[in-house]
Amino acid sequence: MISLVDQLNRPIDLKEPAKRIVSLVPSITEFLNDIGLEQEVIGITKFCIKPEHWLNEKQRVGGTKTLAIDTIISLKPDLILANKEENTQEQIELLADLFPTYISDINKLEDTYLCLTDIGILCNRKFEAEQMNKSIKEGFHQLKNRVKGKGVYYFIWQNPIMIVGSNTFINSILEYFGFNNLGKYKGERYPETSLAEIKNSQADYIFLSSEPYPFKKKQQKEIQLEFPNTNVVLVDGEAFSWYGSRLKHSLPYYNSLLNSLTVDCQ
């Protein structure tokens, strides 16, 4: 018997380690592959793009917020992995009444470590999960406070402009690296703003994320013209928002990005 509580303090009880897993969270799907659950994962969403070959090999169960409930039920999973922010409450509650469902709630780096450990326990991969956590922690230790106190806005949407605010995973990553996330002072998780509103903020950087809105060089050039004294940078949204093993895979990217910003500051 395996018993634990998920990150919403809901009890999860399995008679044995999960062998029929449906993952509704792209970053967790990648982690499941990285800890050797190729055979156990039977269903993923259409946004679970890593590993790429699973999109053709695993049953797709809709989008993260538009789940194909009947398809999931037909798979008869013994564990569903969901996320409070990425999935829809009504759909997850329906599934949780039918199948054991672990719901993650990731707002800071430490939440990731607990989530990965819990999943490792539920899937008989505790050692592999702990090794992943160890690799992430060791890598991040080298990145702590690399950019000290530099002000940044992190854009996630263009029209209307939306930025990363407080109590979010992305904010925790920015602050770990030493940035002062200027969006957090609006007191919301993902507040709306405008270029005019932040014009006088004297931000050192504006980060344009590749997801959920796919900012490109066109927008970078346009915004750079509006902010001649601010460094407008295109950043990898997966690296900043995908918790799980993506954090380990992104370590070279973080190092390269922070090195380039440090040079720009000199």
DSSP assignments along 45-106, one per residue: -TT--SSTTHHHHSEE-B-SSSB-HHHHHHH--SEEEEETTTS-HHHHHHHHTTS-EEEE--
The pTM assigned to this predicted structure is 0.95
Q: How many angstroms separate the first and last alpha carbons of the chain?
A: 57
Percent of residues in the chain assigned helix, strand, coil, to nearest 5: 40, 20, 40
pLDDT band at 202 (very low <50, low <70, confident <90, very high): confident
Say if residue 264's pLDDT is above 70: no
**Does 260 have pLDDT greater than 80?**
yes
Bridge partners (DSSP) listed for residue 235: 209
220: closest CA among 212, 229, 209?
209
Fold equal for 2-140 and 151-265: yes
**Structural domain spans, the chain:** 2-140, 151-265
Token readout for 82 is 């969901």
Q: What is the pLDDT of residue 266?
A: 47
Report the alpha-carbon distance of residue 104 to residue 111 in Å, rounded: 8
Residue 265 predicted with pLDDT over 60: no
Is residue 193 pLDDT above 70, yes or no?
yes
Tell me the mean pLDDT in the region 14-18.
Answer: 98
CATH top class, domain 151-265: alpha beta
Show the CA angle centred on residue 236, arms to residues 227 and 258, nearest 5°: 70
Please give the share of the chain, as a percent, with pLDDT higher than 90.
Answer: 96
Spatial distance between the Cα atoms of 114 and 202, rounded to a whole number of angstroms:
37
Kindly indicate the confidence band of residue 181, based on its pLDDT and cuts at 50, 70 and 90. very high
Please write down the long-range contacts of 30-34, taking CB distance under 8 Å and 24 or more positions apart.
30/242, 30/244, 30/245, 30/246, 31/116, 31/119, 31/132, 31/244, 31/245, 31/246, 32/81, 32/119, 32/123, 34/128, 34/132, 34/245
Top-level CATH class of 2-140? alpha beta
Q: How many whole angstroms separate alpha carbon 192 and alpha carbon 202?
A: 18
Map tokens 């156990």 to a residue: 40
